[in-house]
Amino acid sequence: MKIGVIDNKGENTGRKVDLSNGIYKVEPNDHAVYLEVKQYLTNQRQGTHKTKGKSEVTGSTKKIKKQKGTGTARAGSIKSGIFRGGGSIFGPVQREYGFDLNKKVKRLAKRSALSAKAAEKRIRVMEDQIIEKPKTKVFTSILKSLKMEIDKALFITGNVNDNAVASARNIPNAKVISANELSTYELVNADYIVLFESAIDVIENRLN
């Protein structure tokens, strides 16, 4: 599929680039997208929640009363969870929430997300921008020219562009990532995707 290239003022340059049909024009697989988004979100969880169990709280292990004849339930330790100050019963413990996902499924998820955005005509291709200094005003003007001030815009560069990342950092609805950092969650979460020309080949080499 062909798509026109725009400049940083949102105007057509008269040039067009080819986007691979195998990436931007496939039948979206919703389940693959769901799995990778789930993996991304679970990997963000620290899993450091922890409560002390019966064996970890401070207290005597002496049997607090005789086994029988009291008319109440048996009790072997003051550290039992049924007593004040005792350990938690079935409390949370440290754990890893992340899970593995097949590379082919992850590639399919990214192709599905890109194809869905392309079908909705929410992908733009922009000339590579040379940003000499990190300036929020640069990206604010780009968003304004693209009429994306109130939309979530994901800018994808070919290589890591620290100045571009820093320029968009203070803009809530704009984010800049490199093509090698591409994630399905970022693609799905964005209203519009703006590809810098240098990112096209990197994405195709990664997903084909």
What's the start-to-end Cα distance of the chain, in Å?
Answer: 15
pLDDT 10s per residue in the chain (208 long)?
888 888 878 788 888 898 999 999 999 999 999 999 999 999 999 999 999 999 999 999 899 999 999 999 999 899 999 999 999 999 999 999 999 999 999 999 999 999 999 999 999 998 887 777 888 888 888 888 888 888 899 999 888 778 888 888 888 888 899 999 899 999 999 999 999 998 999 999 989 8
pTM of the complete model: 0.81
DSSP string, 122-187: -EEEE-----SS--HHHHHHHHHHTT-TTS-EEEEESS--HHHHHHHTT-TTEEEEEGGG--HHHH
Q: Which CATH class is domain 2-46+99-207?
A: alpha beta
Q: Is 84 helix (H, G, I), strand (E, B) or coil?
A: coil
Residues 6+ apart with CB under 8 A from 140: 171
Question: What is the domain partition of the chain in residue ranges?
Answer: 2-46+99-207, 51-91
